[in-house]
Amino acid sequence: MIESGHVLNVSHLTVDYGNENTPALALRDVSLSVDPGEFVGLVGESGSGKSTLAYAILRLLHGGRVVEGSIEVSGQNVYELDSNHLRKFRWETVSMVFQGAMNSLNPVLTVEQHIFETIRAHDESVTLTALRSRTDELLDMVEIDKRRAQHYPHQLSGGMKQRVVIALAIALNPKLVIMDEPTTALDVVVQRAILDRIGEIQKRQRFAVLFITHDLSLVEQIAQTVSIMYAGKIVETTPVEQLLTGTLHHPYTRGLLNAIPELLEDNVAISSIPGHPPEITRLPSGCAFHPRCLYAKDECRMSPPILKLYAGSWIACERLPELEELYSDQ
Amino acid sequence: MKFVAQRFLFLLLSVWAAITINFFLPRMMPGNPAEVMLARYQGKLNPQALHALALQFGISHQPLWVQYWSYLISLLHGNLGVSVSYYPTPVTTVIAQSLPWTLALAGTATVISVVAGTWLGVISAWHRGTIVDDILPIATTVSSAIPYFWMALLLLYLFGFLLGWFPLGHAYSTIMVPSWSAGFVGNLLAHAILPLSTILISSLGGWLMSMRNNMLHILDDDFMTFGEARGLSSRRLVYIYAARNAILPNLTGFSMALGFVVSGALLTEIVFSYPGLGYQLFTAVENEDYPLMQGLFLIIALAVLLANFITELIYARLDPRVREE
Ligand SMILES: Nc1ncnc2c1ncn2[C@@H]1O[C@H](COP(=O)(O)OP(=O)(O)OP(=O)(O)O)[C@@H](O)[C@H]1O
Ligand SMILES: [Mg+2]
């Protein structure tokens, strides 16, 4: 499945956090690709495996194993890199804004030291002047005052730390930046500002983004493609316009779309879908969504559905052809 | 700079408090031990010495503040009274003679123990899940579970008595004349090895385990993974990321250990008859030598305070969060 042209190509990836006796499959047969410069949104409830996918791409799974499938970045299999190339691949090719960006910075180093060490780790001969001017440039890009360069993490607000982490993520001009819920811990105003900044920088620097969130409304405005994840599986991949124009979608996606107004008020429960996501150690048979699905039939309990192209979207649902009718009956 | 000045002021205040407590303590002891002691030395000491003792322990008709004032003045002159067990040697002289031994023995042992234990803790945590991390903590837990006193006796019996590899006690052989000759230095080292090993073996494990625990916490922190993700070298991750943060909670422990060097080697010094402060304290208690005890307590208190002060300065250098407060 070597499709050149993609910056990221994840194919049939399965990740297990369990042991031989009790498997805990956080990702099951996940396939996803990102084109150069593309902005892809990855949306799913808490525990659906979004962060696991992000860590798997950087080969940073602690306690988890890739049991099947492969991850290629620019045609290179990430899991075949030797340790030296892996160190360079991390950050020079793919960088990541962590979900816990508030705690991503070393408490005993200044903002500037973080930027310096990151660049130095990949370019030993870089001069101090070059480091300084690059730091100014990066801080400018994320709209942080130059004087903050000498500050320690505890002297910065949450939003500022987030911007510093973003500055670090783009410091080496990577081809792909993974952003794992980069704005979740922030208030709405700061969230908006940071999102706009990310959009602008991305247009200027032309890197691809894999943007992870549980909030569908957030990516609707910024992404080109959106993948929906449920219990470790991608249930739908669709161009963003299709979300707005209301074409046919997976029942779960449909639930998420209906949930958006409520999500804005308090982003806790997806109330339009009854029930809870399953535990990864006790997954339902067949389609993992079937216990919560209004349209589930016997065949949904049999075998897991695979993604099929239908009216411009990739959808994994046994009842795909009938969905149109089923929806209109309501 | 403001921080340093602030801490220094605090040091002065606590030194003053320690000195003041040292003044009042013998005056508040129940059952008036000072008079008991005086009675004991009646006839053994000359009247002048008895009078000096009486003054030092508050058996005086002068008002308290006058006594306090003259106590402060004599302290400023380095006068801590006269030892009764080494009569007529002044307490300051006794202390000045034993302090170097303690610093050399317990000081060296503590520094080695802290540095080596901490470093091994770092290594052990970094290689968690490997054989290194299986063996190190077990070995040191066993060694540190053995009490100082017992360890000292064990080493003394095995290597001093049974095998006869090392001398049984004292800092150097009495037939030697102190000098910087190779022979004498060798003799010093031979005498120091067993007590030094005792302190080292008994305390190293504690440093290892606490550093290892701190490290394991830090290794799970997000900033570690973020550092790894940025392609930082493992050297940098171990030392600048993990160890640098993990050492902070241990600094207070280091300062306590250094402060208590002065007294902490007590048992070891007793077993090996090593002429340090701990041994002197033991002698002082045995002979009810209150002036010497009082002097030793003061020195111990000052050492703890000073070590604390230095640690706070180091802490501030290592942890930016402390600096501004
Ligand atoms: N280190 C781990 N060991 C064991 N199980 C894990 C580990 N990390 C994650 N999991 C499990 O894998 C599943 C997916 O977790 P993951 O963190 O990828 O979800 P997520 O979609 O990022 O959720 P959130 O929105 O809460 O961040 C969860 O069931 C989680 O409990
Ligand atoms: Mg997550």
Of the residues B41, B76, B111, the one at which a domain ends = B76
Q: Do B228 and A108 touch (CB under 8 A)?
A: no
pLDDT of residue B324: 65
pLDDT of residue A153: 94
For β-strands A39-44 and A225-230, DSSP reports them as: parallel
Same-domain check for residues B46 and B143: no
Residue B86 lies in a domain: no
CA-proximal residue: ligand 1, atom 28 (nearest): A47
pLDDT of residue A61: 92
Residue B325: pLDDT band by 50, 70, 90 thresholds? low
pLDDT (tens place) for every residue of chain A, 330 residues total: 444 589 999 999 999 998 888 889 999 999 999 999 999 999 998 889 999 999 999 999 988 899 999 999 988 899 999 999 999 999 999 999 998 778 899 999 999 999 999 999 999 999 999 999 999 999 988 889 999 999 999 999 888 998 899 999 999 999 999 999 888 777 777 788 888 888 888 888 889 999 999 888 888 888 999 999 999 999 999 999 888 887 788 888 888 887 755 444 444 445 567 778 888 888 888 888 888 888 888 888 888 888 888 888 898 888 887 877 777 766
Q: Which atom of ligand 1 is nearest to the CA of A27?
A: 14
Same-domain check for residues B54 and B110: no
Query: How far is residue B95 from each of residues A151, B277, B295, B297, measured CA to CA in Å?
Result: 48, 7, 8, 11
| A217, A259 Cβ separation under 8 angstroms | no
Same-domain check for residues B36 and B109: no
User: How many domains does chain B fold into?
Assistant: 2
Chain B, window 178-197: residues with a beta carbon less than 8 angstroms from a chain A beta carbon: none
pLDDT of residue B57: 65
A109 inside 8 A of chain B by CB:
yes
Q: Which residue in A173, A203, A191 sits closest to A38, CA to CA?
A: A203
Ligand number nearest to the C-alpha of A282: 1
A93 inside 8 A of chain B by CB:
no
Task: Give the position of tokens 């100014």.
Answer: A136
Partner residue facing B241 (CB), from A100, A106, A152 = A106
pLDDT of residue A2: 45
The pLDDT tens digits of the residues spanning B170-204 come to 777 777 777 777 777 888 888 888 888 888 888 88
Residue B324 lies in a domain: no
B238 inside 8 A of chain A by CB:
no
Which bin fits A306, alpha (ψ -120 to 50), beta or left (φ > 0)? beta
Share of chain B above pLDDT 90, in %: 19
pLDDT of residue B319: 87
Residue B21 lies in a domain: yes
The pLDDT tens digits of the residues spanning B31-80 come to 565 666 677 777 677 777 777 777 666 666 777 888 888 888 888 888 88
Mean pLDDT across B250-257: 84
A302/chain B closest Cα distance in angstroms? 40
B248/chain A closest Cα distance in angstroms? 10
Same-domain check for residues B197 and B285: yes
B240 inside 8 A of chain A by CB:
yes
Same-domain check for residues B255 and B135: yes
Same-domain check for residues B62 and B174: no
State how far the Cα of A167 lies from the Cα of A105, in Å rounded to an integer.
Answer: 12
Residue B168 lies in a domain: yes
> Which value does ipTM take for this structure?
0.88
Same-domain check for residues B126 and B181: yes
Question: Domain spanning A8-93+174-328 has what CATH number?
Answer: 3.40.50.300
- Segments forming the whole domain that contains residue B34: 2-76
CATH number for the domain that contains residue B114: 1.10.3720.10
Same-domain check for residues B218 and B113: yes
Least confident of B101-115, B156-170, B173-187, B301-315: B173-187
